[in-house]
Chains A and B, each alone.
Chain A
């Protein structure tokens, strides 16, 4: 079973629409959570990360994510998307105490001008 689930495989939005990409993890212990982005033709970049503390984390380019432990979720949000946000987005989990980072299957976001 996939330990990190991203339910939306392909999302199409118009510019200025709000975005929420789902991410659920299954590990019941302490986790670090990440969102990475891969723009067309570019390498993976870190958008934001959660280690501890405030469950609402803010990242680059206006993105944010909320860690909800009771729901095992770490959804990515942006209030108003731009055409330049067209990319593939990956959620990732690190089980604290282990050394592996496990990725979800990714969500392709297409923003239409």
Chain B
């Protein structure tokens, strides 16, 4: 079955460490997205990528970095510069353009930084 795989499901890190969240899709979708979900704030867009080797900042990109070296993969690095990294992170993908296409979501990674 096609889908989006996020790993791991739970991740724990010490403050000051960078951490990378994995997102892989086998849907042959061109576009991929990273959101963070916090209680009472809905989903906020961190970064998105429309094609390989290209990505754009979303609404809350500070303290995060991404890469898009392969179509199937869009890893997110939470750096030590992110002031409040503990959150639930969701990866999504969609076909070549988002217009007229809904997002498909992974199951998420819950990151806890102490």
A residues adjacent to B (C-beta < 8 A): 4, 6, 9, 32, 34, 36, 42-46, 49, 51, 90, 92, 94, 96-97, 99-106
* Residues of chain B contacted by A51 (CB below 8 angstroms): 100
B residues adjacent to A (C-beta < 8 A): 31, 33, 35, 40-45, 48, 50, 56, 58-59, 90, 92, 97-100, 102-103, 105-108
Q: Which of A49, A94, A100, A105 contacts B42 (CB 8 A)?
A: A105
B93 to chain A, nearest CB (A): 12
Instruction: Give the 5 A-B CB pairs with smallest separation, nearest first.
Output: A105-B42, A103-B43, A44-B105, A103-B42, A43-B107
> Are A43 and B106 in contact (CB-based, < 8 A)?
yes
Known interface pairs A43-B105, A43-B108, A44-B90. Does A101 touch B98 (Cβ–Cβ under 8 Å)?
yes
How many residue pairs link A and B with beta carbons under 8 A? The number is: 59
Q: List 16 A-B contacts (CB under 8 A).
A: A4-B42, A32-B99, A42-B107, A43-B108, A44-B92, A45-B105, A46-B103, A49-B102, A94-B99, A96-B99, A97-B99, A99-B50, A100-B98, A101-B103, A103-B35, A103-B42
> Are B40 and A9 in contact (CB-based, < 8 A)?
yes
* Residues of chain A contacted by B92 (CB below 8 angstroms): 44
- Distance in angstroms between the alpha carbons of A55 and B97 in the assembled complex: 22
B16 to chain A, nearest CB (A): 30
> Are B50 and A106 in contact (CB-based, < 8 A)?
no
- Distance in angstroms between the alpha carbons of A34 and B99 in the assembled complex: 12
Known: A36-B105, A94-B99, A101-B103. 8 other contacts (CB 8 A): A32-B100, A34-B102, A43-B105, A44-B103, A90-B43, A97-B99, A100-B98, A103-B44
* Residues of chain B contacted by A101 (CB below 8 angstroms): 33, 45, 98, 103
- Distance in angstroms between the alpha carbons of A37 and B112 in the assembled complex: 24
